[in-house]
Amino acid sequence: MEKPEKLIVDGKRLDGRAPDELRQLKIEAGVLERADGSAYVELGANKVLAAVYGPREMHPRHHQQPDMAVLRCRYNMAPFSVDERKRPGPDRRSVEISKVTREALEPVVFLELYPRSVIDVFIEVLQAEAGTRTAGINAAAVALADAGIPMRDMVSSVAVGKVDGTIVLDPAKDEDQWGTTDMPIAMIPRKKLITLLQMDGHFTGEEFKQALDLAFKGCEQIYEAQRRTLMEKYAIKQGE
């Protein structure tokens, strides 16, 4: 793929969005019958499924924590999720994303309520188009809530980038590939508490502040969508 001459033209990105605009977002809860909780997220062309199992007894037992549950996260990209078929199985990137996903979600889960147990979160990327880790975190948070796992609040996640010298929210594939900076963030929006912040590239101090403000705005929108999805699902159940 050749680099486009410009990624922002007359204040608009190549997909028609303004710099502070999210891609189209769709969230569904409870999509898998056999999981304790599940969620499906579409963010742009990303299609991500999350399933939660537990709390259940931890095996092998020597991995148990005597005073709390263990949160295990597994992020995986399906071989057919990208244009060139991906080799099946875990690689260094999926192991790293699994780790940061767990660290992003742990602060909101009441793990101390379930000593010696495990809560498993599986994230499967069915179709990838930049920002799969943030889409996965959003799906996992909804799946945990759908499973009835006690949580302090929801975690929402989005990436911010720098493209043609402009700070943009939720970079798409071409912006992710040709932009100069990519910063995925996860946070508890109501408390403005950051649970994940990574950066590939660099911002000036002023750009970093602008990027953070944009991330807070994006996460607040995602939080509202997560909350609305769960409320709609359980309102329907209660009304049946």
Which range among 63-67, 114-118, 121-125, 223-227 shows the weakest confidence by mean pLDDT? 63-67
Are 225 and 27 spatial neighbours (Cβ–Cβ below 8 Å)?
Answer: yes
So what's the pLDDT on residue 107? 97
User: How far apart are alpha carbons 184 and 199 in whole angstroms?
Assistant: 7
pLDDT tier for residue 238 given thresholds of 50, 70 and 90: low
pLDDT value at 35 more than 60: yes
- Stated length of the chain: 240
For residues 49-71, average pLDDT? 93
Between 237 and 187, the higher pLDDT residue: 187
pLDDT confidence of 236, banded at 50, 70, 90?
A: low
Which is more confidently placed, 234 or 77?
77
- The rounded percent of the chain whose pLDDT value lies above 70 is 96
| pLDDT value, residue 91 | 82
Of the candidates 4, 43, 21, 24, which has an alpha carbon nearest to the alpha carbon of residue 179? 4
Kindly report the CA angle at 75 between 71 and 78, in degrees rounded to 5?
Answer: 150
User: Is residue 237's pLDDT more than 60?
Assistant: no
Q: What's the pLDDT score for residue 160?
A: 97
Q: Rounded distance, CA 34 to CA 121, Å?
A: 14
3 state DSSP class of 92: helix
Residues in CB range of 40: below 8 A, 6 or more apart = 26, 27, 28, 31, 47, 48, 49, 50, 139
**CA 3 to CA 117: how far, in whole Å?**
49
pLDDT digit string, tens, across residues 150-162: 999 999 999 999 9
Give Cα 102 to chain centroid, integer Å.
11
Residue 91 one-letter amino acid: D
Which pLDDT score is estimated for 155? 98
Tell me the mean pLDDT in the region 26-41. Answer: 97
Alpha-carbon gap, residue 201 to 171, rounded angstroms:
14
Please tell me which residue, 155 or 63, carries the higher pLDDT value: 155
- Domains of the chain (ranges; CATH) run 17-239 (3.30.230.70)
| Residue ranges in 49-172 assigned as alpha helix (H) | 92-105, 132-146
In this predicted structure, the answer to whether residue 18 has a pLDDT above a threshold of 80 is yes
What does the pLDDT read at residue 228?
A: 96
| Residue 180 tokens, joined | 């100069």
Query: Which has the higher per-residue pLDDT, 59 or 159?
Result: 159
Contacts (Cβ under 8 Å, ≥6 apart) of 59: 118
pLDDT band at 1 (very low <50, low <70, confident <90, very high): low
| Burial group, residue 240, by CB count within 10 angstroms (0-12, 13-18, 19+) | exposed
pLDDT digits (tens, 9 = 90+) for 69-119: 999 999 999 988 887 777 777 789 999 999 999 999 999 999 999 999 999
At 80 the pLDDT is 87
